[in-house]
């Protein structure tokens, strides 16, 4: 007995070591655009961009591949992000008034983002005052300390307690008729840090002397104040106001100043005089609210060029990269970068932060090891902070996403940056509800204001039936098949040249003329009869239209045999896209499947369609009526989200606390086809393999059809023939979610054409093949061709787990080239299981997704080499890895600029102080705290100051006329 125990222990140790060599779970990187962004920051010296979100996340981006992510413990929105001048620290402010300090600390040659300090102000005072004080004093925060907080609060009480003494110098009629309200903004004089300009909401501005604690000059504005900013000469002030105007005031010492030197309204009755326009004038807002309240605009004026950049959603913040070379704008749904150096000011394609949800994602498909020649691209990018230390990816991978508007987007998923490569639209094949007048952002020649639509986020779909439900790409042949919401299946092939052609639909009746069935769902899409010009890329070569036009629930493509299989809630079919004819139609509908005929998913889609059409009519009416409808998009998104959740609930039966038990054949959607699979295996006898098609349904049925595929020489003339061969009915009737045939060595069969391209060994045809049937509740192995049960693994136990996603993956250690195939399974509890093949034993399991995150679980897609993606929000993929060998994660280093690292730490305090307060050469639009440029010595005299101003290479002033801070850029 002792020897047995020792042997068992040794065996277990060896097995555990094997597990550690092959399997390791990590969430590695978040791809896409942060959900609900709320703050933007930029460090010109580090060349790092920071975004804070409403959920308390903070994300940093530099050169492509340089990314950091942090999360505040508090579940509060990040309202401001400030980098410390020329350091690797930053401070965040949350809407609970707490201040947090972060650092990029180097560890083992790489940087990591760490929170190193927290302070809570605990003040019951207007937050705007605290924020403004923070803007002034944040540059004095030194390396891990919050010594500025005391001074910040001192300034707060100085202003609150002593400002009442200044009213004696303000005319009584001005004070009497106006409630000054709260402090809107505070800004120090760029040439005299002891002078602070205090702006009140109702228009009053006061220049305050911090040393003498008394006012120097009052500026009596008559309109509500939005923001103020100093000109670089320290003698002029710009103020922006709620009526769409801005004013220029001069510091003269004569008190009070009742009228501004100049007052202009860019989009009012007065036009902007050319003499007043600096080389670049950039501002947000300023539009008449009655006519353009629904616009989200930033205006850029340069010489005689004037554009109102019209964004897709509300503007969060923006800044300009010096020279000026680029305008970077963060809006609620995307990041837009405009090239200010190129004629026409084109938008620069971002290598990260791409809005995956420009149209809602409906499905995903991953393809590994794409030929490198497809990746020839050079794309300039203006933000290049940090060093990307990650090695070049060993292979190139594609992630394809299907969208509600009928597009398929191709992403380079090889590394940390999920980079957009190609967009395919299927809408051109069909007649849709699209209206040329639908887009009210299209500008016309001579239009005023000169709007230009910028950004790609568009939650509206021309027709919800266009939505992509399934995708399959063969990388070897270049054939792509996509299936949609209204029963359409398109087969496309790569073409290097544009082509004009008509696409004819082959109609497949899945009901097979059975009596008593009447479809009550949506109509199919109408195909365009006239020729359509398709651009170079993937072009349609065949179209199948299912009747009834229900959602396509499964597809399979075999590019070697030139066949595509498809399934819906009514049955499945097989189509020969080489000869353009249907081979097989099989109805799987049960007489009790009334839900399949009602078309619940279609009904939800039609409700959404009517909602969209209603809002589309509203949007079109805005073209003529220009009425305010800011909340329409938010309301529509809320309604859509609710309807999507209802649709998922109809299909996602709630987990039940039970063991496996038989389900009634009367359950809804028993005929729904969940999976389709092609295999060259032994179906009829054990001596001759034959092509076959396998289909699994929601009612636990598996159908096998033997195929006769002509030889390559006769493929164009002889027909493909299919006939029924086998049928399996699982006793517990659980939905079949996966089918895999294992060869004589227990390995999964290779992909079509994989062996022909020498990328996989030929399958072992000597020895028994096995069919692995994965249902929601168990894995069962059958021998072929007899289809007798050999072994099984029950996943459903008392916790009610059900299989939601399944895939075959290959694992290997870092040191050994040998690969092992395993099965990867995701359950409705959000757990990942790795299961051995062919023994179907549990190897490891890890928690991955919250069980409440139904949409995240439903969106999960596995890669061929043990990685995966799922939607952690509508706009973000979370990437994870189960493999020790293949891990894609940021590996980067950020260091403070060498010229900004003083040898004597005692001198750093003074320099940082001046960097903050003496910044006439700032490059940031946000506030002086981003002005981490070398110290500037102010001119000694007024004439010298004038000469300096005249010698400035460029000058950009950005101010907000709606709800923005007044900002100035000097380059």
Q: Rounded to an integer, what distance in angstroms lies between the CA atom of residue 508 and that of residue 744?
A: 37
Mind listing the pLDDT tens digit for each residue in 218-267?
999 888 988 887 887 889 898 888 888 888 899 988 888 889 998 888 88
Q: Rounded to an integer, what distance in angstroms lies between the CA atom of residue 734 and that of residue 701?
A: 9
Helix, strand, or coil (residue 172): helix
**Most confident region among 321-325, 376-380, 674-678 by mean pLDDT:** 674-678
Query: Which residues, other chains included, contact 109 with Cβ-Cβ below 8 Å and sequence gap of 6+?
Result: 389, 893
DSSP class of 787: T
CA separation, residue 169 to residues 68, 166, 218, 247, 804 (Å): 52, 6, 8, 22, 73
Q: Rounded to an integer, what distance in angstroms lies between the CA atom of residue 876 and that of residue 874?
A: 6
pLDDT at 42 over 50: yes
Mind listing the pLDDT tens digit for each residue in 913-939?
222 222 222 222 332 223 333 333 333
- Determine the length of the chain: 971
Q: How many CB atoms lie within 10 A of CB 170?
A: 19
CA neighbor of 180 nearest in space, from 193, 198, 194, 196 = 198
If one compares 120 and 124, the residue with the highest pLDDT of the two is 120
Tell me the average pLDDT across 408-423: 94
Query: Which residues, other chains included, contact 318 with Cβ-Cβ below 8 Å and sequence gap of 6+?
Result: 40, 282, 284, 298, 327, 328, 329, 330, 925, 958
Query: Which residues, other chains included, contact 846 with Cβ-Cβ below 8 Å and sequence gap of 6+?
Result: 25, 831, 832, 882
For residue 374, the model assigns a pLDDT of 54
For residue 971, the model assigns a pLDDT of 21
CB contact at 8 A, 115 and 98: no
For residue 131, the model assigns a pLDDT of 41
Torsion from C-alpha of 926, 932, 934, 936, nearest 10 degrees:
40
Q: Rounded to an integer, what distance in angstroms lies between the CA atom of residue 797 and that of residue 304?
A: 72
For residue 636, the model assigns a pLDDT of 53
Lowest mean pLDDT among 12-21, 25-34, 252-261, 871-880: 12-21
For residue 293, the model assigns a pLDDT of 82
Beta strand 451-453 pairing with 305-310: parallel
DSSP class of 429: G
For residue 102, the model assigns a pLDDT of 95
For residue 141, the model assigns a pLDDT of 36
If one compares 687 and 904, the residue with the highest pLDDT of the two is 687
For residue 967, the model assigns a pLDDT of 28
Tell me the average pLDDT across 527-552: 95
**Most confident region among 3-7, 195-199, 486-490, 915-919 by mean pLDDT:** 486-490
DSSP string, 234-285: SSEEEEEETTS-EEEEE--S-S-B-S-SEEE-TTSSSPPPGGG--SEEEEE-
Query: Which residues, other chains included, contact 567 with Cβ-Cβ below 8 Å and sequence gap of 6+?
Result: 552, 553, 554, 555, 573, 672, 673, 674, 676, 695
Q: Rounded to an integer, what distance in angstroms lies between the CA atom of residue 952 and that of residue 971?
A: 7
For residue 823, the model assigns a pLDDT of 97
Q: Which residue has the tokens 């110098």?
A: 169
For residue 244, the model assigns a pLDDT of 86
DSSP class of 785: T
Written as six digits, the tokens of 510 are 């899945």
Q: Rounded to an integer, what distance in angstroms lies between the CA atom of residue 627 and that of residue 640?
A: 23
Residue 830 falls in which region: left (phi positive, over 0), alpha (psi -120 to 50) or beta: left
Q: Rounded to an integer, what distance in angstroms lies between the CA atom of residue 208 and that of residue 503?
A: 74
DSSP string, 824-840: EEEETTSEEEEEETTT-
Q: Rounded to an integer, what distance in angstroms lies between the CA atom of residue 402 and that of residue 661?
A: 36
pLDDT at 534 over 70: yes
% of residues, the chain, pLDDT over 90: 52
Burial 830-848 (b: 16+ CB within 10 A, else e): bbbbbbebbebeebbbeeb
For residue 520, the model assigns a pLDDT of 87
Helix, strand, or coil (residue 871): strand
pLDDT at 619 over 60: no
DSSP class of 748: B
Q: Rounded to an integer, what distance in angstroms lies between the CA atom of residue 799 and that of residue 264?
A: 69
pLDDT at 623 over 50: no
For residue 637, the model assigns a pLDDT of 54
Mind listing the pLDDT tens digit for each residue in 171-201?
777 766 556 777 778 788 888 888 888 888 8
pLDDT at 657 over 50: no
Tell me the average pLDDT across 116-139: 48
Radius of gyration of the chain (CA): 32
Written as six digits, the tokens of 676 are 């389709």
For residue 954, the model assigns a pLDDT of 29
For residue 269, the model assigns a pLDDT of 61
CA neighbor of 544 nearest in space, from 583, 587, 588 = 583
Mind listing the pLDDT tens digit for each residue in 804-828?
999 999 999 888 888 999 999 999 9
pLDDT at 491 over 50: yes
Q: How far apart are the first and last CA of the chain?
A: 83
Domains of the chain: 467-591+668-793 (2.40.128.630)
DSSP string, 690-742: EEEEEEEETTSEEEEEEEEPPPGGGTTTSPPEEEEEEEEE-TT-PPEEEEEEE
Give the strand order in the sheet containing 347-348: 315-321, 326-331, 334-339, 347-348
Written as six digits, the tokens of 333 are 């749904």
What are the backbone angles phi and psi of residue 953, rounded to the nearest 5°? Answer: -65, -45
Q: Rounded to an integer, what distance in angstroms lies between the CA atom of residue 947 and that of residue 266?
A: 28
Written as six digits, the tokens of 939 are 């001119």
Could you tell me the pLDDT band of residue 212, with boundaries at 50, 70 and 90? Answer: confident
CA neighbor of 860 nearest in space, from 807, 786, 922 = 807
Per DSSP (E only), the strands in 37-182 are: 37-43, 48-53, 57-61, 67-71, 78-83, 89-94, 98-107, 110-120
For residue 599, the model assigns a pLDDT of 60
pLDDT at 640 over 80: no
* Three-class DSSP labels, 45-60: CCCEEEEEECCCEEEE
Query: What does pLDDT average to over the chain?
Result: 79
CA separation, residue 364 to residues 210, 237, 358, 637 (Å): 60, 53, 15, 21
pLDDT at 154 over 90: no
Tell me the average pLDDT across 281-309: 87
For residue 663, the model assigns a pLDDT of 59
If one compares 959 and 742, the residue with the highest pLDDT of the two is 742
Q: pTM above 0.75?
A: yes
Report the interhelical angle of 127-137 vs 905-917 (nearest 10°): 120
pLDDT at 902 over 90: no
Query: Which residues, other chains included, contact 9 with Cβ-Cβ below 8 Å and sequence gap of 6+?
Result: none
Query: Which residues, other chains included, contact 906 with Cβ-Cβ below 8 Å and sequence gap of 6+?
Result: none
Backbone CA torsion sign across 28, 33, 38, 39: positive
Could you tell me the pLDDT band of residue 769, with boundaries at 50, 70 and 90? Answer: very high
């Amino acid at each position: 007995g002792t020897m047995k125990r020792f042997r068992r222990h040794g065996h277990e140790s060896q097995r555990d070591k094997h597990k550690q060599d092959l399997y390791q779970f990590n969430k590695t990187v978040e791809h896409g655009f942060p959900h609900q962004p709320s703050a933007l920051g930029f460090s010109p010296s580090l060349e790092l961009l920071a975004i804070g979100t409403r959920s308390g996340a903070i994300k940093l981006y530099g050169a492509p591949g340089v990314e950091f992510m942090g999360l505040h413990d508090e579940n509060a929105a990040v309202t401001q992000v400030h980098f410390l001048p020329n350091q690797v620290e930053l401070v965040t402010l949350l809407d609970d008034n707490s201040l947090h300090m972060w650092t990029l600390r180097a560890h083992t040659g790489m940087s990591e983002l760490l929170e190193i300090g927290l302070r809570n102000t605990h003040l019951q005072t207007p937050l705007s005052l605290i924020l403004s004080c923070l803007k002034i004093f944040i540059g004095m925060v030194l390396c891990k300390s919050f010594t500025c907080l005391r001074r910040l609060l001192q300034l707060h009480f100085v202003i609150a307690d002593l400002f009442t003494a200044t009213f004696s110098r303000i005319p009584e009629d001005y004070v009497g008729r106006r409630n000054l309200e709260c402090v809107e903004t505070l800004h120090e004089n760029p040439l005299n840090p002891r002078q602070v300009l205090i702006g009140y909401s109702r228009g009053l501005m006061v220049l305050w002397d911090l040393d003498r604690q008394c006012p120097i000059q009052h500026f009596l504005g008559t309109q509500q104040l939005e923001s103020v900013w100093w000109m670089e000469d320290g003698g002029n002030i710009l103020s922006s106001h709620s009526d769409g105007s801005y004013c220029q005031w001069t510091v003269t010492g004569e008190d009070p100043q009742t009228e501004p030197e100049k007052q202009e309204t860019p989009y009012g009755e007065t036009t902007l005089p050319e003499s007043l326009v600096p080389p670049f004038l950039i501002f947000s807002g300023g539009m008449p609210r009655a006519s353009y309240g629904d616009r989200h605009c930033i205006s850029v004026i340069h010489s005689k060029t004037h554009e109102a950049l019209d964004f897709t959603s509300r503007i969060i913040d923006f800044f300009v990269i010096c020279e000026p070379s680029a305008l970077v704008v963060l809006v609620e749904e995307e990041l837009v970068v405009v090239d200010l150096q190129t004629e026409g000011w084109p938008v620069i394609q971002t290598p990260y932060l791409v809005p995956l949800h420009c149209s809602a994602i409906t499905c995903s498909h991953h393809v590994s090891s794409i030929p490198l020649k497809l990746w020839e691209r050079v794309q300039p990018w203006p933000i290049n902070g940090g060093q990307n230390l990650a090695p070049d990816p060993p292979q190139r991978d594609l992630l394809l996403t299907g969208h509600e508007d009928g597009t398929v987007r191709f992403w380079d998923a090889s590394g940390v940056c999920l980079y957009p490569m190609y967009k395919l639209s299927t809408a051109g094949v069909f007649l849709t509800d699209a209206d040329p007048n639908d887009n009210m952002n299209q500008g016309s020649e001579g239009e005023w204001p000169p709007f230009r639509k910028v950004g790609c986020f568009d939650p509206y779909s021309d027709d919800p039936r266009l939505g992509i439900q399934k995708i399959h790409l063969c990388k070897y042949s270049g054939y792509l098949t996509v299936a949609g919401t209204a029963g359409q299946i398109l087969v496309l092939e790569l073409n290097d040249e544009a082509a004009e052609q008509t696409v004819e639909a082959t109609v497949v009746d899945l009901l097979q003329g059975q009596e008593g069935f009447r479809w009550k769902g949506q109509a199919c899409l109408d195909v365009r009869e006239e020729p359509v010009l398709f651009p170079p890329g993937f072009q349609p070569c065949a179209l199948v239209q299912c009747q009834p036009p229900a959602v396509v629930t499964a597809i399979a493509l075999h590019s070697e045999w030139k066949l595509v299989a498809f399934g819906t809630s009514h049955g499945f079919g097989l189509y020969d896209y080489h000869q353009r004819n249907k081979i097989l139609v099989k109805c799987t509908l049960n007489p009790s499947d009334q839900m399949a005929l009602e078309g619940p998913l279609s009904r939800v889609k039609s409700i959404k369609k009517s909602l969209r059409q209603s809002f589309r009519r509203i949007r079109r009416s805005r073209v003529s009526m220009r009425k305010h409808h800011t909340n329409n998009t938010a309301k529509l998104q809320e309604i859509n989200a609710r309807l999507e959740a209802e649709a998922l609930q109809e299909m996602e039966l709630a987990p039940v606390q039970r063991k496996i038990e038989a389900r009634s054949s009367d359950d809804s959607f028993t005929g729904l086809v969940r999976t389709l699979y092609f295999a060259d295996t032994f179906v009829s006898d054990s001596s001759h393999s034959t092509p076959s098609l396998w289909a699994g349904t929601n009612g636990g049925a598996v159908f096998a059809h033997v195929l006769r595929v002509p030889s390559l020489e006769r493929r164009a003339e002889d027909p493909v023939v299919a006939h029924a061969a086998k049928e399996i009915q699982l006793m517990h009737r659980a939905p079949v979610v996966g089918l895999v045939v294992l060869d004589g060595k227990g390995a999964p069969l290779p992909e079509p054409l994989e062996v022909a391209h020498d990328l996989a060994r030929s399958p072992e045809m000597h020895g028994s093949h096995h069919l692995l049937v994965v249902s929601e509740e168990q894995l069962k192995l059958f021998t072929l061709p007899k289809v007798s049960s050999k072994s099984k693994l029950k996943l459903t136990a008392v916790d009610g787990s059900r299989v939601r996603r399944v895939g075959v993956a290959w694992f290997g250690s870092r040191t050994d080239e040998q690969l092992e195939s395993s099965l990867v399974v995701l359950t409705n509890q959000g757990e990942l299981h790795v299961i051995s093949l062919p023994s179907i034993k549990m190897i490891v399991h890890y928690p991955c997704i919250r069980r409440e995150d139904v949409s995240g679980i439903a969106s999960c897609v596995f890669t061929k080499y043990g990685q995966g993606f799922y939607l952690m929000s509508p706009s973000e993929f979370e990437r994870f890895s189960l493999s020790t060998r293949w891990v894609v994660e940021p590996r980067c280093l950020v260091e403070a600029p060498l010229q900004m690292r003083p040898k004597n730490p005692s001198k750093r305090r003074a320099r940082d102080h001046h960097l903050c307060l003496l910044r006439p050469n700032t490059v940031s639009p946000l506030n002086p705290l981003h002005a981490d440029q070398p110290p500037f010595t102010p001119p000694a005299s007024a004439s010298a100051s004038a000469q300096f101003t005249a010698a400035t290479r460029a000058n950009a002033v950005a101010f907000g006329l709606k709800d923005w801070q007044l900002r100035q850029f000097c380059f």
